[in-house]
Amino acid sequence: MNPPLARIPLLGLLLLFAALAATQAQAAPNYIQAPPFSQTLGQMAVADPAPGKPLQLPMITWGGDIATILANGNSPRTKPGSLFDQQGLDIQLVRKDVFADQLKDYLSGKSPFLRGTLGMVNMAAELLSRDPRTRPVPIYQLTWSAGGDALVVKPGIHATKDLKGKTIALQAYGPHVDYLSKILADAGLSPADVQLRWLPDLTGSANSPAAALAQAEVDAALVIIPDAMLLTSGGAVGTGAEDSVKGARILLSTRTANRIIADVYAVRIDYLAANRAQIQTLVQALLQAQEQTQALFRNPSAEHKALTSASAQLLLDSPQATADVEGLYADASFVGWQGNLDFFANPNFPRSAQRLTQEAQQAFIGLGLLSAAVPLTSADWDYAQLKGGLKTGAAAPTQQFDSQQVAAVVARKQQQDSLGEGELFSFEIFFKPNQNDFTPDLYQDAFNRVIDLAATYGGALITVEGHSDPMGYLRKKKDGEQEIVLGRIKQSAKNLSLSRAVAVRDSVINFAQGKNISLDPSQFAVVGHGIGKPKSGICGNDPCAPKSEKDWRDNMRVVFRVIQVEAESSVFSPL
C-alpha cells in the first residue's frame, strides 16, 4: 500500500509521472470498502508507552516535517546542540507515511505520538478512545496544506454544487476525506449526494484516485498536486494525451482552500499526564525550529543546503532530491506561535481545532467512519510561556491580494460577462426598497457564512455584487422618456448598487472585527451591476418586467460569490 499521507512527489516529478503513466494503462482499480478504524484495528492490544530512550517521533513526507528534522539536528537521532537536545530531549525520527502503522505503534506503546492531519486523528478517535490511556490529545499544529492537494474534475462540473450525483474517487483514510466533506458542506451538499469510490493508495499505482479518474464512471478525484498536473496536462485542461484525462481540470486546490487540511501532532493522554513538561519542551522546540526553518528558506545558505539535503534523505530516501523538498516546503503554510494560539485557544477563530473536529466528525459519522462524536481533549498550553525563545510570535506570512490586479481581473470578467467562471460557491441576501444599512442583526447568519468562507478559502476572491430594482427605469421607458435620461437612471442604479455592495462588505468586516476576527479587505471585490442582471431576466436590450411581487423583490439583492483565481497569478503578492 502506498503512503496515505505523502502528498508530494515520490522522488522527482518525472519518476512519479512515469509510474502513473504505466498504471493508467492497466485494468480498472480495485475499489475497497472503508469501515471504521475501530473495525480494521479493533482487536489490537493496548500497552503502556515503552520506557527509556530514545523517544520515537513519527514524521510523514510533508513540508511541515522539514522543521522537525531541523529541530533534531538534521539527523534521525537527536544531535548534540540541536534544538531538541537543548530541551533535554532524545528523539528518534521515524518516517511513518502509512497512518495505520502509526496507530499500531501508538496502541502498542512503541510511540506515544501520532503525526497526521487533524482529520486523520479524528477518524481514529473512536478506536483510540476505547481505552482511556490512548485517547489522543492534539498538541501542536505544524502547517496548513496550501497547494499540495487538489480536486480534479471532468467536463460538466463547473462549480462545487455540480458535484451532486457525481462519482468521486479518493483514498480511504487519507488526508482528503475531510477536505471533500468540507467542500460538499459549503456547497450545500452531503456525502449522501455523491457516490464515493474508495482506493487503498494515494498515488503511484493502479489503485489510486488518479488512476481511477481515467475510468468512465468516475467524474472527479481528490489527488496530490503532481497527479493533478499530470491529469490536466500541466495544470490546464487535459488533452487525453500523455496519460492526461481529456477535459480534466483542477476545480479547487488547497492553494485556494488553504484552511481545511491541518497537519498536527497528537499524543496519548496517559503519556501527556505523566510527561507534561517534556511534551511542552517538545512543542517549544518545534516552534523555534519552524521559525529557523522559515528564515533559512528566505535566505538560502550553507545551513539551508544542509537542511534540504537531510530532509531529502529522511523524507524521500535520496539526499539529491532537494528540489522536491523545496516543493514540499512551498505547499505547506507554517502557522507559528500565533497560529497555534488561534487554532487551539481562540474560540472565535473560524478554523479552530474545535470547529474542524466538529465538521470532520459530523461528516465521518455520515460516511460510516465513526458511529458517534468523540470529544478531543485540549493540551491547554500556556502560550505566553511557549512564546519564550521565539524572535516573533506572529503567524507565518500568507498571501494577500493585489488590489489593483483584483480590480483589473474583476473589470475584465465584467466586460466578458464571465464573473461566474471559476465560481466555487455563491449565495445572496435581499434588502428592502431604499435600504442602505446592512446591520448584523438583520444578516448575522449570512455574515457568519462569509467569515467562514473567507477563512476557509483564503486563496479565493470574494465578490460582493449589488443588484438594483429595474422598475423605475422600465416605467420611465414606458412613459417615453428620452434616452439621455434613461442612461442617467441606469448609471444611478449602478452607482446605488455599488454603494450597497460597499456597505455590505464593510458591515461584514466590521462584524468580524467585533468578534476579534481579522478579514483581509483586499480579498473582497465590490461590484455594482445596477439593473443589468435582474432575476427576471433580459428582454431584448432591457430588463424583463417582474411578473410578481416576488420577482420584484428578488431583484433587490447582494450576491456573494467565492471565485477561484489561481490562474491569475498576478492577483497574489507575498506579504
Q: Are residues 157 and 137 in the same domain?
A: no
Q: What is the CATH number of the domain that holds 354?
A: 3.40.190.10
Q: Are residues 499 and 543 in the same domain?
A: yes
At residue 313, does pLDDT exceed 60?
A: yes
Is residue 545 assigned to a domain? yes
Per-residue pLDDT, averaged over 347-358, amounts to 95
Reported pTM = 0.88
pLDDT level of residue 26 (50, 70, 90 thresholds): low
Residue 3 CA to residue 66 CA, distance in Å, equals 18
Q: Is pLDDT larger for residue 417 or for residue 543?
A: 543
Per-residue pLDDT, averaged over 320-340, amounts to 95
At residue 568, does pLDDT exceed 70?
A: no
Is residue 13 assigned to a domain? no
pLDDT level of residue 341 (50, 70, 90 thresholds): very high
At residue 353, does pLDDT exceed 70?
A: yes
Name the grid cell of 104: 499500531
Domain closes at, from 222, 253, 284 = 253
Q: Are residues 342 and 407 in the same domain?
A: no
Hey, is 300 helix, strand or coil? coil
Per-residue pLDDT, averaged over 238-254, amounts to 94
Please provide residue 221's backbone torsions phi and psi, each rounded to the nearest 5 degrees: -150, 145
Q: Are residues 366 and 473 in the same domain?
A: no
pLDDT level of residue 5 (50, 70, 90 thresholds): very low
pLDDT level of residue 399 (50, 70, 90 thresholds): low
Q: Are residues 201 and 67 in the same domain?
A: no
Query: DSSP secondary-structure letter at 529?
Result: E
CA neighbours closer than 13 Å in the CB half-sphere of residue 57: 24
Number of domains in the chain: 3
Domain closes at, from 253, 284, 316 = 253
Spell out the residues 6+ positions from residue 43 whose beta carbon is closer than 8 angstroms to its own. none
Domain closes at, from 231, 253, 275 = 253
Residue 36 CA to residue 19 CA, distance in Å, equals 30
At residue 14, does pLDDT exceed 50?
A: no
Is residue 37 assigned to a domain? no
Residue 336 CA to residue 284 CA, distance in Å, equals 11
Per-residue pLDDT, averaged over 248-257, amounts to 94
Q: Are residues 412 and 537 in the same domain?
A: yes
The dihedral region occupied by 140, where left means phi > 0, alpha psi between -120 and 50, and beta the remainder, is: beta
Q: Are residues 418 and 437 in the same domain?
A: yes
Per-residue pLDDT, averaged over 317-341, amounts to 95
pLDDT level of residue 113 (50, 70, 90 thresholds): very high
Q: Are residues 556 and 443 in the same domain?
A: yes
Strands (E), 277-404: 332-334, 399-401
Is residue 9 assigned to a domain? no
Name the grid cell of 203: 498515488
Q: Are residues 137 and 230 in the same domain?
A: no
Averaged pLDDT of the chain: 90
pLDDT tens readout for residues 275-306: 999 999 999 999 999 999 999 999 999 999 99
pLDDT (0 to 100) of residue 571 = 59
pLDDT (0 to 100) of residue 133 = 96
Contact 234, 32 (CB under 8 A): no
Q: Kindly write down the DSSP assignment for every residue of 78-100, as one continuous string.
A: PPTTSHHHHTT--EEEEE--SHH
pLDDT tens readout for residues 180-214: 999 999 999 999 999 999 999 998 899 999 999 99
pLDDT tens readout for residues 116-151: 999 999 999 999 999 999 999 999 999 999 999 999
Q: In which domain, by residue range, is 476 found?
A: 399-574
pLDDT (0 to 100) of residue 25 = 47
Is residue 31 assigned to a domain? no
Q: Are residues 420 and 488 in the same domain?
A: yes
Hey, is 17 helix, strand or coil? helix
Is residue 29 assigned to a domain? no
Is residue 24 assigned to a domain? no
pLDDT tens readout for residues 436-493: 889 999 999 999 999 999 999 999 999 999 999 999 999 999 999 999 999 999 999 9
- H helical segments located in 299-335: 302-316, 322-330
Is residue 472 assigned to a domain? yes
Q: Are residues 242 and 282 in the same domain?
A: no
Per-residue pLDDT, averaged over 563-567, amounts to 78
Q: Are residues 141 and 169 in the same domain?
A: no
Per-residue pLDDT, averaged over 370-375, amounts to 94
Residue 121 CA to residue 74 CA, distance in Å, equals 27
